[in-house]
């Protein structure tokens, strides 16, 4: 499904959509795709985060879309600026897999599960209900988020397409 209405979200990137547009990000591995949706106004946002927390950032200035703790507030801000209602926002997340597991691996290689934990915690802090999620496992995902229906479609090599 790649029409003119598809808005691509890159790695460590975020964007918002409305009026039937579709947000798409490809190849989520340990990264997590976070979507926010205002069902009344049909406004949608998507972030493709790579790391759980900006506290480990050594870049100046930081890319806010890369870290769960900076991407979520930035996405909220963009949606509110477009007219979304804070209390109406709903979240869905996908990704956070562990592509490879090797014996005795260090914590940095458990990054997928940590990205998921951090995303869930941040959503709780902002009191945004997490409607559904498809996380973990050891495979990659490509996701598309429909700004009209709020349906998140998830495609993987092993399991085909599913919708949450």
Partner 1 sequence: MANFNRFEAFELDVLKEVGNIGAGNAATALSTLLNKPIDMAVPSVRIVPFEEVAEKVGGPEKVVVAVFLRVDGDAPGNMFFIMQEHSVNGLMQQLLNIDRNENEPYSDLEHSTLCEIGNILAGSYLSALADFTNLSLLPSVPAVVKDMAGPILSYGIIQYGEMGDTALLIETQFIEDNKSLDGHFFLIPDPASFEILFKSLGVGQ
Query: What is the contact surface with partner 1 in residues (CB under 8 A)?
Result: 10-13, 26-31, 50-51, 56-59, 63, 66, 97, 99-103, 105, 108-109, 111, 138-142, 157-158
Token pair in block for residue 132: 């559904």
Minimum CB separation from partner 1 for residue 38, in Å?
Answer: 28
Which residues is 26 bridged to in the sheet? Answer: none
Report the nearest approach of partner 1 to the CB of residue 10 (Å): 5
Pick 126 or 139: Cβ nearer partner 1 = 139
- Alpha-carbon distances of 139 from 31, 115, 125, 143, 155, rounded to whole Å: 11, 15, 29, 13, 10
Helix or strand run (H / E) with residue 111: helix 111-125
CA pair distance 70, 52, nearest whole angstrom: 9
Judge whether 56 counts as a catalytic residue: no
In the complex with partner 1, which residue's Cβ is closer, 11 or 88?
Answer: 11
Of 14, 31, 32, 94, which is the active-site residue? Answer: 31
What residues are labeled active site?
31
């Amino acid at each position: 499904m790649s029409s003119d209405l598809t808005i691509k979200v890159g790695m460590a990137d975020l964007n918002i959509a409305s009026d039937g547009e579709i947000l798409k990000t490809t190849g989520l591995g340990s990264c997590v795709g976070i979507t926010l949706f205002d069902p009344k106004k049909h406004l949608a946002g998507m972030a493709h985060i790579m790391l759980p927390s900006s506290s480990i950032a050594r870049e100046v200035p930081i890319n806010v879309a890369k870290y769960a703790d900076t991407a979520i507030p930035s996405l909220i801000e963009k949606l509110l600026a477009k007219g979304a209602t804070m209390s109406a926002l709903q979240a869905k997340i996908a990704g956070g897999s562990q592509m490879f597991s090797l014996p005795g691996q260090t914590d940095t290689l458990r990054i997928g599960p940590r990205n998921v934990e951090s995303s869930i915690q941040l959503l709780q802090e902002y009191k945004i209900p997490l409607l559904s999620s498809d996380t973990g496992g050891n495979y990659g995902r490509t996701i598309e988020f429909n700004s009209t229906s709020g349906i998140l479609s998830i495609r993987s090599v092993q399991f085909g397409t599913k919708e949450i």
